[in-house]
A and B are shown apart, each in its own frame.
Chain A
Amino acid sequence: MKISNLKSQVSNYKKLWIGIGILILLTPLGLIIPEIFRAGGAWGEWGTDEIKHIVGYVPEGLKRLSEIWSAPFHDYAFSGWDKGIRSYIAYIISGLIGVAIVIVATYLFAKVIKRGER
């Protein structure tokens, strides 16, 4: 890929990338608005504590499988940064981290499937 092509691509989509940036900055609305309307999590995505609260017990298999992976930034939050303004900042940073990883992963995917081609 020529440098000049790359430049024109970036400028072609510059506005759209700025749009993604603005959306990242606005992501805390995805926490704040549900808080205002007193809405909980998504249906069927409850943690084991909530399941226990809803059905009175934690199904055995569910409990076992739910522990198989511990995500570094669970729920787009950092430990101790899960409430109020800190949770909003953590959410924005999570958005940045997620977008960065997704972009790198997409380029890696493209590289792998296009390998051997010129």
Chain B
Amino acid sequence: MHIPDGYLGPITYGGLWAAVAPVWYTAAKRVKTTLKAAQVPLLALSSAFSFVIMMFNVPIPGGTTGHATGATLVAILLGPWSAVIAISITIVVQAFIFGDGGITAIGANCFNMAFADVIMGYGIYKLIRGSSPTTSKRTVISGAIGAYAGITIGAFLTGVELGIQPYLYKGPDGRPLYSPFPLSIAVPAMVIEYAVVFGIIEAVITALVLIYLQRSNPELIRG
């Protein structure tokens, strides 16, 4: 889901930088007032977790690979705005140090993984969990469904952003200038692989960590 440099044209990557800027501003403002000094280690722990979990490439046999993001899980532990910050830090480090995701595409990748994945995943978790107690099964299931939906929505957005490129940018010879795959290929490719494989992985990881935390550190699971 890490869009590299060159796949998005200037209007698209610029537009997504512009779209994610107010999200970062809001997140920083919210975190400034809500983050207690004691929670900074937890924020660092979450960024670290997200970074590491994204290194576990999962194969579709004979096909492509993908990975979990941990976005919904981090949002459940820290609140969505802190999760926006934690995942964004991870994406920026991945881009600059490891070339995983482009520099021009940081806006897009943060919009998809640090914003849409986080907010949708957390929103759906909250909606399903309702007021059920921290240690309930329902909390785990809500987290798993939220995580599945969040990452799949992130993948859908990635597919749309890639898929509109051939319509937006054509060279004089009519060939695409950036990502060459139309919506009819890019969207199904991204959505299906996440809906069928990587989304399930994300849901299982989220559920396992929540079950573990219910026993070891239930105070970390937010209401």
Contact = CB atoms under 8 A, between A and B. Distances in A.
Interface in B123-155: none
Interface stretch (B15-23, B27-35, B114-122): B27-35
Contacts of B58: 30, 33-34
A99 interface: yes
Contacts of B184: none
Given A37-B62, A114-B32, A98 B97 contact: yes
Contacts of B59: 33-34, 36-39
B35 A110 contact: yes
Contact of B41 (A9, A40, A41, A109): A9
Nearest to A115: B32
Chain B: interface size category: 35 or more
Contacts of B98: 71, 73-76, 94, 98
B85 A43 contact: no
A62 B57 contact: no
Contact of A76 (B61, B100, B171): B100
A73 B97 CA distance: 6
Given A39-B63, A98-B94, A64 B6 contact: yes
A27 B52 contact: yes
A51 B175 CA distance: 14
A113 B52 contact: no
Chain A's interface: helix, strand, loop or mixed, by majority? helix
Nearest to B99: A71
Interface string B44-85: 110111011101111111111111000000000000000001
B216 A41 contact: no
Nearest to A46: B4
Contact of B175 (A59, A66, A71): A59
A26 B52 CA distance: 10
Contacts of B175: 57, 59-60
A103 B89 CA distance: 9
A34 B41 contact: no
16 contacts: A17-B45, A20-B45, A30-B57, A34-B59, A37-B59, A43-B64, A45-B2, A62-B7, A65-B5, A65-B178, A71-B96, A71-B99, A95-B55, A98-B94, A110-B37, A113-B31
Given A62-B7, A74-B99, 7 more contacts: A1-B38, A5-B38, A20-B49, A42-B57, A62-B178, A66-B4, A114-B35
